[in-house]
Each structure stands twice: as C-alpha cells, then as structure tokens.
Amino acid sequence: MDYRAILANARQKDVLLALAVIGLIVMFFVPLPAPVLDVLIAANITLGLLILLTVMFVKRALEFTSFPMLLLVTTTFRLALNVASTRLILEQGHSTTAAAGHIIEAFGNVIMGGNFVIGLVIFTVLILVNFIVITKGSGRIAEVAARFTLDSLPGKQMAIDADLNAGLINEDQARTRRSELEQETGFFGAMDGASKFVRGDAIAGLIITGINIVFGIIVGTMQHDMAIGEAANRYFVMTVGDGLVAYIPALTISIASGMLVAKSGTTSGAGTVVLDQMANSPRALLVSSGLLVFISLLPGMPVFPFWLMAGAVGAAGWYALKGQRKVEGDRKAEQVAEKAAEQAAAAPPVEQPLASLLHVDTLRLELGYGLLSLIDESKGGRLTEQIKATRRQLARDLGFVIPSVRIQDNLQLKPGDYNIFIKETKAGGGTLEPGMLLAMDPTGGAAPAIEGRDTIEPTFGLPARWINDNQRENAQFNGYTVVDNANVVVTHLTEIVKDSLADLLTRSELDKLLDELRGTHGKLIDELVPDKVSKPVLQKVLQNLLRERVSIRDLPGILEALAEVVPGMRNLTLLTEHVRSRISRQLTAQHVGGDGVVSVVALSPAWEREFMDSIMSTDKEGMERQLAMAPDKIQNFLRTTSDTFTRQFNSGLSPILLTSPVARPFARLLIERSLPTVAVLSQAEISPKAKLRTVATV
C-alpha cells in the first residue's frame, strides 16, 4: 500500500474543500453572470438531493459525522446564491424575467401559473412548512438528542468498563467503544449547533424574498418607469423562482437533518427500519384497512380511493401476519428440538466422595438457591460463560491463567446471597435480588429519580437501586447504568481476583508458566533458572508486579532484566524496581488514554524531599531501606493525595502518580489501601516516546 499516495490524495481533497469555501466567500462580493448562476443553482439542488439520499441509506448516524460541517457549507452556499441572484434581479430584472438565469425564471413561471397572487400564496405555504414544521422540529430533535447523549455519557462509560471487567470484551474492543462514544457525543453536540444554521437560513431566505419584492418594485417603478402592476408581476416571478431554487435544497437538507438525528439507536437504513417495524404489527395494518372501508361508506365519500388504500394496507397486513406466524412456528420448533437434545444428553448426577470435601479450592463462588438460575443455561443463565470469558481476558491482560472457579450452591445462605472465597478464606460477597436488575447512577445523584428499592452496589460500594426488567429502558434513558445479577457477580469476582493476584501466583502456577515458556524459550530458561535467577526470587518479583496489576506476559524480558542484577542485588524491592524500569514501554502503554496521552498527577518537590529525608538504610550496603516518616505527615500525604485523585476521578480522568525512582515504592506502599487502583510510576518507568499531560500536583 502506497501511504504517500494516500496522503497526497487526502491533501488534495483538503485543498479542494478549502478552495470551495474561499469561492463561496468570493460569491458574496463578485457579480456572477446568469449562465454561471444556473450551473451553481443546479449544483445546489443536486447537493441537497444527494445529502437527503445519503442520509436515508446510512445505517447509523455516526456513518455521516461530517454532516454538521457539510450543513454549514451548504447553508453558506445557498446564502451566496441568494446574494448573487438578488444582485441580478435588482440590476437587470426590468429587462427580462430571465435576468437571474433560466432556472429561476422556469421555477417562477411554474409556481405562478399566470397569477402572481396564487403563486405568492403557494410560495408562502412552502416557506411556513419549512420554517415552522420541518426546521423547528429537526432543531428540537437535535437539541434533545444532544442533551440526552451527554447525560447518558457516564452511564455508557461505566457499562463499557463493566463489560471489560466481566470479560465480555477485550481492551481493543473497549477502546473502540470509547472512541465511538466520543464520536457520538461530539456528533450530536455539533448537530445541536448546526440545526441553528438551518433555522437561520430559513429566516434569511424569508427576509431576502421580501427585499427582492419590495425593492424590485421600487427599482422598476422609480428607475425604469414601469407600471406598478407590470413591476410587481415581473419581480414576483423572479423572486418566487429565486426563493424556490433556494428552498428546494433547504427543504431536502432540513428533512435530512431531522432524519439523521432521528436515526439514533437504529442500525439499518431508514426504509428498512420503518417497513420492518411496521411489519411487526400486522394487526394494526388490518385494523387500518377495516377503518378505511368504513370511511368509504360514509355519505358523500368517494369509494374508489379508500377501497384502493384499504386493499393495499390489508394485503400488507395479511402478508406480515403470515410471516410473523411462520417465524413464531420456527422458533417453537427450535425450542422443542433444543429441549429434547438437552434431555437426551442429561445424565444422572454422580455423588462425589466425601474425601473431595477436604480439597482446598483456590477460587470458589457460593450461591444461594435463589441465584442458581444464573448458572442454569436452560433458563438463560450465562454466569459460567462470563466467568470463562473473564479468565481468558485476565490471561491476556496479566500474563497468567488464574485457577478455575468452583461454583457451588450453599443452602445455608439466604436466597439472594453469594460469597467469594480465595483459598477457603472469604474475600467478599453480597446480596442480590433474584430476577431484578441493578441500576446505578454514575453522576452521583444528578440523574432523575426512578422507582426501585435503594441498595449498595457490592463491588465498589456505590448507591444503587433494584428495579424490574420493564424499567430498564426508562432507567437507561435517565442516565442510569443497568446491569443484571450475573454482571454484578462477575464484576465483583474480577475485582477480588485482581486484588489477590499475588496470592494466586503460587509455586505450582509459576512452574506452569515456566513449562509453557520452555516450549519457545527453552534455552533462556535453562541458562537463567535456577542458576542465575532462583524460583523463589522470581516468584516474589512476579508477585510484586501483579500486586500493582502489572502484566507479566513478557516473562522472557522479566527474566533477562533479573539476570542483569542478580546475584549482586538481593533486595526484592530493588529487583522489582529494576524490572519495572526495563518494561517501561509496557507500563506506559497500560495507562495511555484514548487521546494517546498519559494523564499524570506529579509528586511535588516538597514531598519528594520529604520522602528522601525519611528513607533510611538498615544495612551497610544501603540496599535494605525503610520509610521513617512521621505519622502526622503520612496522614497529611494520604489526605492530600486522596483529595487530588478524587477530583480527577470526578472529572472523568484516571491519572497516574508520577514520582522519583527512589520514592516510588514507598509512595505506592502508603496509598495502597486508600487508593488501590491508582498506579504509581517513576520517571524511569515512563517510555521516552510517551506524551504526558500533568493534570495536578500533590
């Protein structure tokens, strides 16, 4: 692929657009001959029809994100044509009705029909239709769509994060969804402003029409000695024609603007969506057919038009009803076949020996009997598949496969309770409402109140409400993030696993990692493990990395980094810091935002000095270090850091804390409990090519 050719082609398009915009500005001041004006008017009408048809065939509004900019250009184009035609009408309109071109003359004669009063009335009706109905309606749609898009932005962002944590999507898919969300927000915000162009264009066209009529008659009677009737007839023809050639593309683009904004939530063309949704209600078509027949029987009503429409609507309803029954029959047949297959494949349960109860589960999820439907696939339960997807996602993100999760029922629990155990120790749990949905307000109370029972979301402790399934759309419309019970459990399990990664990396798991690596890097393993890097040291370093949610997927690079400093260096903290500096590119990439920039909260020089003064060596070599900071200063540091990051979280950012290499491990140790999800990086761990943006200072 020749990227230079593509780049050159893109630049040519940008240059052409720039020249076109400059040409529009020139049109406001330079007189145009009538033949040139005819060509430009034809181009304007063509552009309006092309935009309308494009909007009708796009499946999603985001497929036409250039529409607001195009709307501004076309509006400017029409106004420039109005100025050019007004100049010709007032300068040369006394001599012929073709003074502003044959297209304007033709449109004026067609609409006037030999009677300028009737023509003026029809033209006024067209103006009112466009200005009051279509333009105002499309502008209101754009305004409401922009407002609700912005209101629902936090909820959609949390939904993406929930799907990512549940393993339903990977990091690339989440990044794509966030990018689409940004495009959607920007598009509807731009459409809200662009709709004002349409309304302003309609007002300007109305004023220009009045100017052409009034001043045309004045010019004709006072400067060219024409009779008032003759001047009115001639200038009315040209003015109405000029207004029509401007209002036809304006009308089509106004309709296109309303249709494009109204496409929000659809994934098909306009015709497909309308016909498919009407076909979903065949009874409405049949009832409408009957009503048309009844109307035709009223005294004085013509029978043929109503019977023709009744026949067409009735035939459409009959075919739609026939298709709907066929689909329902096929669905029932599939359900019967699936149920028969499940019954045939079902085997009687085998009782496990009592000795199996002595086994220690690394990960176990216990469910109350009210939540057992979450793992029953015949009832739509998908918890098991979600947990499998979560394990796959964690393996991709963190570099090792977490142990299998054992799921079992516990009749001693309440029906809606669940508990999560790590190595037979309870790590978390919660209470759910079977059959209900959890609605969370990501705005912190700004969303409108909805019906439901107040509760606390078990994973992050956020206020939430239990709602019925029929309230889902209303809650989402009001900006709430709505999740089912399976998603709540999976999200909670994922966060607990991430907090316990160091405990899950046992010696046996390390051996599995080394055995898998031996297939591709056997020589490296034989050379380094255990002669240069012992397994206990390697395990501790990997646990230190996982404790801060750093991926160990690049295990060969980690081994090579350790081989550089052992056996001379024995301190595990210093070993870990050395490894982190060697994988700086990976560490930086984990925290790059959607705009390609790493948001940073910098540790101030004052706190840097405080850390340096408080770090003390406990051995002669200076490798064993401890933090001897006063308790009141520690509390002050924790309070300041927490306040700073809370403000950043509320503004939608997830920055890192940037410190010096010496202070980094101790700063992380202090904020580990209060801000467990905040990453602490040193300057040595930032990739040289990374783009940083300092958003605050501690």
Whole-angstrom Cα distance, residue 562 to residue 571? 12
What percentage of the chain reaches a pLDDT higher than 70?
Answer: 82
The confidence score (pLDDT) of residue 220 equals 80
Contact 423, 406 (CB under 8 A): no
Whether residues 683 and 544 fall in one domain: no
CB 404 within 8 A of CB 361: no
| C-alpha pair distances (Å), 260 with each of 51, 65, 202 | 10, 10, 19
pLDDT at 473 over 60: yes
- 215 and 308 share one domain: no
**pLDDT over 80 (residue 387):** yes
Instruction: Select the highest-mean-pLDDT range: 133-147, 152-166, 252-266, 471-485.
Output: 471-485
Q: Are 296 and 310 in contact (CB under 8 A)?
A: yes
Residues 569 and 653 both lie in one domain: no
What burial letters (b/e) apply to 615-654, b meaning 16+ CB within 10 Å? beeeeeeeeebeeebeeeeeeebeeebeebbeebeeeeee
| pLDDT confidence of residue 160 | 77
Weakest mean pLDDT among 12-21, 188-197, 570-579 = 188-197
**pLDDT score at 360:** 80
271 has a pLDDT exceeding 60: no
pLDDT average, residue stretch 472-498:
89
**pLDDT for the residue numbered 351:** 55
* Same domain assignment for residues 72 and 187: yes
State the chain's mean pLDDT as an integer: 80
pLDDT the model gives residue 5: 47
Of 232, 246, 226, residue with least CA distance to 115: 232
**Residues contacting residue 696 through CB under 8 Å, at least 6 positions apart:** 601, 602, 644, 647, 648, 655
Mean pLDDT calculated for residue range 468-483? 86
**Could you tell me which of 465, 494, 505 has the C-alpha nearest to residue 389?**
494
Examine residue 29 and state whether it is found in any structural domain, yes or no: yes
Same domain, residue pair 564 and 657? no
Please check whether residue 226 lies inside any domain of the structure: yes
469 and 362 both lie in a single domain: yes
Query: Model-level pTM?
Result: 0.53
DSSP 8-state code for residue 278:
H
Same domain, 574 and 607: no
Residue 563 is assigned to a structural domain of this protein: yes
Same domain (yes/no): 259, 299: no
Same domain membership, residue 429 and residue 381: yes
List of residues 6+ apart from 478 with CB closer than 8 A:
151, 447, 448, 450
Examine the fold and report which residue of 477, 502, 527 is the final residue of a domain before the chain moves on.
502
Q: Are both 520 and 565 inside the same structural domain?
A: yes
Which range is most confident: 132-136, 247-251, 261-265? 247-251
At 1 the pLDDT is: 43
The one-letter code for the residue type at 625 is R
pLDDT above 90: percentage of residues in the chain: 16
Q: What pLDDT was estimated at residue 107?
A: 76
Last residue of one domain, picked from the residues 551, 582, 613: 582
The residue out of 447, 469, 502 marking a domain boundary is 502
Q: Compute the distance between CA of residue 605 and CA of residue 660 in angstroms, rounded to an integer.
A: 10
Two structure tokens written together for 197? 């162009």
In a domain, 221, yes or no: yes
Edge-to-edge strands, sheet with 453-456: 453-456, 463-467, 437-440, 481-483
The whole-number pLDDT of residue 264 equals: 58
CB neighbours of residue 112 within 10 Å: 21
CATH code for the domain in which residue 578 is found: 1.10.8.540
Query: What's the total number of domains in the chain?
Result: 5
What pLDDT was estimated at residue 417?
Answer: 94
Residue 9 lies in a domain: no
Residue range(s) defining the domain that contains residue 132:
20-268
**What radius of gyration do the chain's Cα atoms show?**
35
CATH of the domain at 495: 3.40.30.60
Does residue 345 register a pLDDT over 60?
no
287 and 233 housed in the same domain: no
Report yes or no: 382 and 437 within 8 Å, Cβ to Cβ. Answer: no
Tell me, yes or no, whether 150 lies in a domain. yes
Q: What pLDDT band is residue 601 in, cutting at 50, 70 and 90? A: very high
The residue among 681 and 444 whose pLDDT is bigger is 681
pLDDT-based confidence at 3, cuts 50/70/90?
very low
**Residue 195 to residue 257: CA distance in whole angstroms:** 8
Burial of 330 (0-12, 13-18, 19+ CB in 10 A): exposed
Q: What is the dihedral of CA 259, 137, 204, 33, to 10 degrees?
A: 20
Domain assignment of residue 2, yes or no = no
Q: Are residues 666 and 530 in the same domain?
A: no
